[in-house]
Structure 1
Amino acid sequence: MTSIGTGYDLSASTYSPDGRIFQVEYANKAVENSGTVIGLKVKDGIVFAVEKLIHSKLLVPEANKRIQTIDRHIGMATAGYLADGRQIANRARDEASNYRETYRTPPPLTELVTRLRLYVQAYTLYSSVRPFGCSTVIGAIDKNGPSLYVVEPSGIAYGYNGAAVGKGRQLAKTELEKLKLSELTTREAVFEAARIIYLVHDDAKEKEFELEMSWIGDESGGIHLPVPKDLHQEAEQKAKDALENFD
């Protein structure tokens, strides 16, 4: 057996001689092969945008959503295996509901992320299970203001001002770093998010995709909701025009 994976990649509970857990690395590869997901934390809220790749023209439009509501003020977007993302979303809803019942107050995002990353990390410890093949971008507005986190397949969670996961994450991160996120409104962030998603998709023109977007902020009354259709369509059109000018 060697340390390149042979023999050491059969179980999530087995380390290679150089301290790697290959099952977790394979889970990260599943995320990298998925459509790009970005999250923006701006001065008055959170914006999510997803490049949802369309693998068949027979699929019903707007089905199999990758953005889900966890609590009234909490939203989540996932990159990777869709079924794994739904399982994590269901767990997050259970944890949010449990917090509300116990403390009679909306769950703060930091507490929910702590519980969620412990749940994800548990799936890297036992040979009878496999790690989740998805990364989760989760954001909210709570008593601490807007906050945004990414929970990775290893169970680690980072707080971000702007996050990107999936196939086009490197280019998306480069574009996010150019923005003054703390000065943007959620409405302005919607246009920037659409532009970035269309820009990173440019390398995969052979596949069609749907742009999925949602927001939490003053515009939505502090509730996680899909971006209104008229604004969504306007943002898409501006993104297409910007891409043509870029080309």
Structure 2
Amino acid sequence: MTSVGSGYDLYVSTYSPDGKIFQIDYANKAVENSGTCVAIRTKDGVILGVEKLVPSKMLEKSSNRRIHHIDTHIGVGISGFLADARQLITRARDEAKQYRQVYGQPIPIKVLSQRIASYNHVYTLYGSVRPFGCSLIITGIDQYGPQLYMVEPSGSCIGYFGTSMGKGKQAAKNEMEKIKFTEISTRDALKEVARIIHTVHDEVKDKDFELELGWISMTETNSVHQLVPQNLFEEAEAFAKAAIEEANQ
């Protein structure tokens, strides 16, 4: 029995007297302790950026990735436990593959997001399991245009023009509220995402981090999800660092 949950956190299927499921709160806390993930939906695409915290200097640069491909037209950003997220990514790839086999076309982003959200929700119903300790931001382009959804451990699935999760999510949301999402271009949004992540990074508590950027655009990538090319990545990171130096002067 814990002092926080007072015994109501022993099973995920148990509600507390005030209507809470404590294990879902604990899963959300795991997400909040992870690196910040930011996504912006533009008029022709979606930009995804992740603050990948580096716990050791011996860590290989390409490992521990937090941006992954689900299908050619879908990318995912992760905050929370990587082991839990890996299971959801595998599930998402299976769903996308099955949808193609059955219907002969790419899976819509909303359909995939809702299926993963339903899968998450199942893990909040039975005492023998626990919620996934991670959240996903699912981005892509389908027949309805650019799409951006966030799936949370509770099974919540909501579409956004811009959203964030992780340690600096509130500060990132404050920065994103200044953006005109229907007017900004993909390349400009790329720089904004890099700037926001560098701005919300806490240099005192987390000294080392790597920036990861992924994008999908109807004009830049021909509606295929990719990691941002090195030249554009360096340009966006240089812009972010210059903006922070200017703000600190």
Shift of 1:238: 1.1
Q: Structure 1 stretches of 5 or more lacking a match?
A: none
Tell me whether 1:243 sits opposite 2:223 in the alignment. no
Query: What's the counterpart of residue 35 of structure 2?
Result: 35
The number of aligned residues is 247
SS in 1 for 2:131: coil
Deviations 1:120-164 (A, max 9, x none): 000001111110001110011000000100000000111100010
In structure 2, distance between residues paired with 1:127 and 1:50? 33
In structure 2, distance between residues paired with 1:114 and 1:186? 26
Deviates more, 1:142-151 or 1:204-213: 204-213
User: 1:174-193 alignment to 2 at 5 Å?
Assistant: 174-193=174-193
Q: Structure 2 stretches of 5 or more lacking a match?
A: none
Tell me whether 1:44 sits opposite 2:48 in the alignment. no
Query: What's the counterpart of residue 98 of structure 1?
Result: 98
In structure 2, distance between residues paired with 1:154 and 1:192? 29
Tell me whether 1:194 sits opposite 2:176 in the alignment. no
In structure 1, distance between residues paired with 2:207 and 2:23? 28
Tell me whether 1:107 sits opposite 2:112 in the alignment. no
Query: What's the counterpart of residue 119 of structure 2?
Result: 119
TM-score by length of 2: 0.96
Give the letter for the 1:236 counterpart: E
TM-score by length of 1: 0.97
- State the 4+ residue runs in structure 1 displaced beyond 3 angstroms: 1-4, 202-206
Give the letter for the 2:5 counterpart: G
Task: Give the number of the structure whose residues are more often helix, by fraction.
Answer: 1
Give the letter for the 1:131 counterpart: P
Q: Is this contact kept in 2: 1:48–1:77, CA < 8 A?
A: yes
Deviations 1:182-224 (A, max 9, x none): 1111111110000000000045464200000010002011100
Deviations 1:87-145 (A, max 9, x none): 11110000010100000011111111111110000000111111000111001100000
Query: What's the counterpart of residue 76 of structure 2?
Result: 76
Q: Is this contact kept in 2: 1:3–1:18, CA < 8 A?
A: no
Query: What's the counterpart of residue 208 of structure 1?
Result: 208
In structure 2, distance between residues paired with 1:224 and 1:204? 34
Q: Is this contact kept in 1: 2:53–2:206, CA < 8 A?
A: no
In structure 2, distance between residues paired with 1:188 and 1:63? 28
